Amino acid sequence: MSRSRLAGSPLSLLLALAFAGSAQAQAPAPAPAAPEKPFKVGVVTFLSGAAAGPFGVPARNAAEVLAESINAGKAPAPYTKKGLGGRPLEVVFLDEAGGTAKQVSEYRDLVQRQNVDAVIGYISSGDCLAVAPVAEELKKLTLFFDCGTPRIFEENSYKYLFRTDAHAAMDNVAAALYVDELKPKLKSIAGINQNYAWGQDSWNDFEATMKALRPDVQVTTSQMPKLLAGQYGAEISALMSGSPDVIHSSFWGGDLDAFILQASPRGLFKKSTALLTAGETAMYKLAGQIPDGTIIGARGSHGVFAPDNELNRWLRATYQDRYSVPPVYPAYHMAQAILGLKSAYEKAQGGGAGEPSVDAIIAAFENSSFETPSGTIKMALGKGHQAIEETVYGMAKNSGGKLTFTHVKRFPAEKVNPPEGTKSADWIKAAFSKK
C-alpha cells in the first residue's frame, strides 16, 4: 500500500486517533506553575558485559536514587535545594559496553540528538581517553566519574571536561605506603594485573613507589594476564613459587572474583599477603573466601571506609532502601559526580535562581571543593579539572561470615596525589625516595 493511499483511508484516521489518544495519555498533567525545564544529564556506565554487575549497575542505581532524592529535596546540607538550584535533574542512561568507537558515536548522539545538558560517565579508562577530545570538540560539559588512568589531564588540558574521582596513582601510592608501614621486614613483592592501561599503570605506580621506599625489595614476578582471562592456575603457581611477602593486584569484576576463588583454596593468601586495590567491590559476595590479613582498598574513602557523615548516611540509606545491598565504591563515585555538578551549578547561580551559562558552571567548578559521602573532594589538579580525595586501606578480618577491618589507615589527599603540574611517574620517583 502506498503512502498516499494509506493517508486517505479510514484506517489511517483510526490510527491517527489511536496515536493521539495514547500521546495524550502519556503527557504529564499540566503543572500549576510554569514548570522548570529539567537539566538533562546523560549517564553512561556498563549496563551489560562483565563490568556491569560489580561496577556499572551500582553506579547506575546510585544515579537513579540520588536524582530522585535530590529532586524531592531530601538530600542533606549543603544540598537541600531541590534538583540543580531548583531545576529538576533528569537522567538518561546509556550502556558503556561495546568499545571506544561505539562510545564516541553514542556520545555524539547523546549531545547532538538527545540534547543533554551534561554527560556523566565512563568506567573504562579506554572510553575516557576516547571521549575526552570529543567532549572538547562538541563543547559539552562532561564529568568522568570512575575511570582511573592519570593520562587524561597529565597529557592534555580541557575546558569542558572534569573528573570527580582521583586517578589511579593515588590507589597504588597509598597501597605502597600502607605496605611500607605495616611490613617492616618486607623483602619481596609480586603482582598480578590485567594487561591493559589500568593494570599496567597500577602495577608500574605500585612497583615504582615500593622501590623508592625500599630500594632492596625484590620483585618475584609480575603477571599480566589478559583482561577477562578467567583461568589463573599457572599464574597462581608462578606467584606461589616465588613466595613473595605481598601480592599486588588491581583486578576488578569477574577477574577479581575468579582470582580469589582459585587462589584461596590453594592457600596463596595464607603464604603471601594479598593487596587488592579494588577489593571492596568483591567483599560482600566473597567474604568467606577472603582470608584474614588481606589488604583491601576502595579507590578512595568509599563504602566501608567512608566517613561517618550526614551525606554518607543519606547515600547508604537511600541506596539500601531501594536495592537492599550496601553501595560499593562505584556508587560513591557516582555520588561525587552528581554532587560536584550540583555544587558547581548552584555556585554559578550565585545565590539566585537563574539558569547559569555553561561557562559560568565551568568557572564555578574549576578549583572548587565540595562535600560528598566520601568527604571533601578538591578539584586540585589538571588546572582545576581533576579531583583529589582522601583514600583508605585496611586489613580484612572475617568475623561470622562478614568482613571487618583492622589497621585501617587514612591517607590525606595531598599525601597520595601528585602536586599540580607534575606527572605521577616523576612525582613518585622524586617524592618517595628515602634519603
Partner 1 sequence: MGDVLAVVIDGTIYASWLFIIAAGLTIVYGVMRILNMAHGSLYALGAYAATSVVGAWIRGGRAPLVSYALLIAAAIAVGLIFGPLIERGVLRFVYGRDEIVMVLVTYALFLILEDAIKLVWGVESYFITEPYGLLGTVEIGPLTYPVYSGALVLAAIVTGLLLRWGIYGTRYGKLLVAVIHDREMAASLGVNVRNVFLITFTLGTMLAALGGALTAPTVSVVPGMGVETIVLAFAVVVVGGLGSMPGAALGSLIVGLVRSAAVHFFPQVELFSIYLVMALVLALRPRGLFVAPEARKI
- Residue closer to partner 1 by CB (options 191, 297) is 191
Query: What are the CA-CA distances from residue 379 to residues 18, 106, 165, 249, 414 (Å)?
Result: 52, 27, 9, 28, 12
Q: Of the two residues 14 and 234, which places its CB atom closer to partner 1 in the complex?
A: 234
Quick one: residue 414, left, alpha or beta (phi over 0 = left, psi -120 to 50 = alpha)? alpha
Least distance to partner 1 from the beta carbon of 145, Å? 19
CB of 234 to partner 1, least distance (A): 4
Q: In what order do the strands lie in the sheet with 218-223?
A: 218-223, 188-192, 246-249, 273-276, 295-297, 391-399, 402-411
Biggest CA-to-CA distance, the chain: 90
User: In whole angstroms, how close is the CB of 250 to partner 1 at the nearest point?
Assistant: 16
Reading the block at residue 272, the C-alpha cell is 603471601
Question: Judged by CB, which is closer to partner 1: 166, or 278?
Answer: 278
Output 54 or 303, the one with its CB closest to partner 1: 54
* Exposed e or buried b per residue across 34-55, where buried means at least 16 C-beta atoms within 10 angstroms of its C-beta: eebeebbbbbbbbbebbbbbbb
Helix (H) or strand (E) holding 405: strand 402-411
Residue with smaller CB distance to partner 1, 146 or 257:
257
In 3-state terms the chain splits into helix, strand, coil percentages (rounded to 5) of 45, 20, 35
Question: What is d(CA 393, CA 375) in angstroms, rounded to the nearest whole number?
Answer: 16
What are residue 263's phi and psi, to 5 degrees?
-80, -35
Q: Extract the runs of DSSP E, i.e. beta strands, from 270-374.
A: 273-276, 295-297, 369-372
The residue among 230 and 293 lying less far from partner 1, judged by its C-beta, is 230
Q: In the complex, what is the shortest distance from the CB of residue 60 to partner 1, in angstroms, rounded to a whole number?
A: 10
Backbone angles phi, psi at 142, to 5 degrees: -135, 130
H-helix segments, 324-386: 329-349, 358-365
Q: How many CA atoms lie within 13 A of 182 on its CB side?
A: 21
Residue 142 parent element (H or E)? strand 142-144
Q: Which CB, 132 or 290, lies closer to partner 1?
A: 290
For residue 289, the minimal CB distance to partner 1 (Å) is 6
Measured from the CB of residue 324, what is the shortest distance to partner 1 in angstroms?
Answer: 13
Q: Are 240 and 266 in contact (CB under 8 A)?
A: yes
Beta carbon of residue 45, minimum distance to partner 1 (angstroms, whole number): 11
d(CA 13, CA 17): 6
Rounded distance, CA 234 to CA 240, Å?
A: 10
From the list 103, 105, 106, 108, the residue with the least C-alpha distance to 129 is: 103
**Do 300 and 374 meet the contact criterion of CB atoms below 8 Å apart?**
yes
Q: Closer to partner 1 at the Cβ: 178 or 251?
A: 251
Count of beta carbons in the 10 Å neighbourhood of residue 277: 28
Indicate the residue among 201 and 235 with the shorter CB distance to partner 1: 235
Complex with partner 1: residue 309 or 398, whichever CB lies closer: 398
Closest distance to partner 1 from the beta carbon of 435 (Å): 33
Give the shortest CB-229-to-partner 1 separation in angstroms: 6
We find the least distance from the C-beta atom of residue 353 to partner 1, in angstroms, to be 40
Measured from the CB of residue 197, what is the shortest distance to partner 1 in angstroms?
Answer: 14
Nearer to partner 1, 50 or 403 (CB): 50
Interaction site with partner 1 (CB under 8 A) = 47-50, 52-54, 56-57, 195, 221-226, 228-231, 233-235, 237-238, 240-241, 243, 253-254, 257-258, 261-262, 264-268, 285-286, 288-289
